[in-house]
Amino acid sequence: MFSIFYFPLVASLASSSLSSELWEILRKGHVSSAASHVSRIAESEEDGLHAASWWQLQADLQIALGRHADAEDSYRKSQKMIRTGNRDVHVASARNAGWQAFFRYRFATAMACFTRLTDEHGIDPRRRLEGMFGVVCVQFQLGNLRACEDSLQTLLGAFENSTTEIDSTADWFEIVHTLNADIAANRALRSMPQLSDHVFWRSEISKELGPSNQIGTGVGARLASLLTSVESPILSSRLRYLAAQHELSKGRLEATDDLTAHLHWAADRGLVPYQKFAREEIALASIAGGAPHIAKMVLSALSAENRHAPDHSQLDYLYCLAKTRQAEGRNYDAMLLYSRYALSAMQCLRESSRALTHPSRTNRRSEVFDDVAARLPAKYRRAYRYILENLDRSDLSVKEIAIEIGVTIRTLQNVFKSCLGATPRDVIRQRRMERIRAELQAEERHSEQGVQQVASKWGVRHRSSLATGYKTQYNEVPSQTLKR
């Protein structure tokens, strides 16, 4: 998961609290020092959006350092400090839930959160870029490399169109183009013939491989060229590492020294989660380069850590471990490990299907565990489920929902507003408009009269309510959706 490397940089650039001093610390890769710096500021700030931004940034850096429980507390404090309106709470809630879900390997929820950010009308362009970055990360992690590259091109286009609206454009430029080269290098590595039985990745890459594998052509030259223009020390370090990794995958074992130096560099900066994934990348390159003994060496530090790890995080680890056992002639152990790998790969592919297939809006239970549910406490997920199951009823009331879960109307409203930045009534309207829009986009034969029939199907009886709610949510009227 190379995204853990870029996440603190993108999150910081998207934050309204980033200072030049903090950015200089991050540019040098000192994420642990940056976290301490932000913590001191956050603790000294009073309530308000500025304080909330510092607490959010502290949580981001805690995630980058692998301190997920601390990050959850910091995100919660951040959202409680927002006093500027429901919209800010809504954006922060979706964004924070997305990153927490992503780094916990709940990719369907993460994708829903990031998509909600990118689709949000009038959002800060920096947050939209961050949401697009999140989509790229999810696509890659799910093995959808072609979709990942398409999403990256969308991100590049959005960045180019936003240069007049955002600060630090040079820093954004370096990150986006380094990320682009990083994905190309990872894709080239996973397309190596020696990794042809790494079925999770090859299930998509093999569609594009002809008699001669051309996917990795020019990767080394591309990385070398980018190194001459990138000024950020942390990005330069990643590029040098990728260049060495590429050399190792070609069988040039002398590159191991540079890769080992990069692991020490990451250790000195407290980047524990990143070290894990870097070791797995090095192991893949070692196997591709015909040096399974190097793979065994770099993986030895991960054995205890991976014993009870979530399935998604074990894919490359289990595959590489199986290949090292095979190289040692321990075929039975290799078979057992590869079986575990294959099971994990199938679970990941099913997760991919769930994350990337748009659920039918007519399925009343399909969205129960979406990004909105992820942001609510367990008890109030029942309220959200009840809303989804009764959207077609025009008489659905907030009082009825409160009675259903045994709380007062005021309590229900307060919890929804603090967690979602929206009241229960707002959520009802938003979900109804989503389902109406989905049906309008799915059918080309709707007339103006048919639009009202679809709206009535989802509990919207009055034309004025439909027009107002739809315009608020999508910045267009239903007839404009039909024309497209």
CATH number assigned to the domain comprising residue 378: 1.10.10.60
Query: Do 404 and 343 belong to one domain?
Result: no
Query: Do 78 and 7 belong to one domain?
Result: yes
pLDDT reported for residue 345: 85
Query: Do 338 and 379 belong to one domain?
Result: no
Mean pLDDT of the chain: 86
Q: 401 lies in which domain range?
A: 371-483
pLDDT reported for residue 478: 84
The domain boundary, picked from 302, 321, 352, lies at 352
Query: Do 180 and 90 belong to one domain?
Result: yes
Query: Do 462 and 318 belong to one domain?
Result: no
- Give one DSSP letter per residue of 405-440, joined into a string: HT--HHHHHHHHHHHHSS-HHHHHHHHHHHHHHHHH
Would you say residue 363 has pLDDT above 60? Answer: no
Residue 213 lies in a domain: no
The domain boundary, picked from 321, 352, 383, lies at 352
Asked whether 33 and 69 are in contact (CB, 8 A), the reply is no
The domain boundary, picked from 304, 323, 352, lies at 352
Would you say residue 119 has pLDDT above 80? Answer: yes
Q: What's 121-171 look like in SS3?
A: CCCCHHHHHHHHHHHHHHHHHCCCHHHHHHHHHHHHHHHHHHCCCCCCHHH
Residue 203 lies in a domain: no
pLDDT reported for residue 352: 66
Q: Is the dihedral of CA 275, 356, 482, 153 positive or negative?
A: positive
Residue 365 lies in a domain: no
Distance CA 104, CA 236 (A): 28
Question: Could you give phi then psi for residue 287, rounded to 5 degrees?
Answer: -65, -45
pLDDT reported for residue 80: 84
Residue 391 lies in a domain: yes
Model confidence pLDDT, tens digit, residues 291-343: 999 999 999 988 655 554 545 778 899 999 999 999 999 999 999 999 989 88
Residue 402 lies in a domain: yes
Percent pLDDT > 70 in the chain is: 88
Mean pLDDT of 424-428: 92
Asked whether 144 and 123 are in contact (CB, 8 A), the reply is no
Q: Fill in the DSSP letter of residue 392.
A: T
Q: Is 180 helix (H, G, I), strand (E, B) or coil?
A: helix
Q: What is the CATH number of the domain that holds 99?
A: 1.25.40.10
Would you say residue 447 has pLDDT above 70? Answer: no
Query: Do 384 and 299 belong to one domain?
Result: no
Model confidence pLDDT, tens digit, residues 274-292: 999 999 999 999 999 999 9
Query: Do 33 and 77 belong to one domain?
Result: yes
Distance CA 410, CA 398 (A): 10
| Overall domain count for the chain | 2
Residue 61 lies in a domain: yes
Query: Do 307 and 178 belong to one domain?
Result: yes
Query: Do 347 and 375 belong to one domain?
Result: no
Cα distance from N-terminal residue to C-terminal residue, the chain: 37
Would you say residue 49 has pLDDT above 80? Answer: no
Query: Do 116 and 66 belong to one domain?
Result: yes
Name the band, by pLDDT with cuts 50, 70 and 90, for residue 216: low
Query: Do 37 and 172 belong to one domain?
Result: yes
Query: Do 347 and 399 belong to one domain?
Result: no
Residue 184 lies in a domain: yes
Residue 192 lies in a domain: yes
Mean pLDDT of 64-79: 91
Name the band, by pLDDT with cuts 50, 70 and 90, for residue 365: very low
Full-model pTM = 0.81
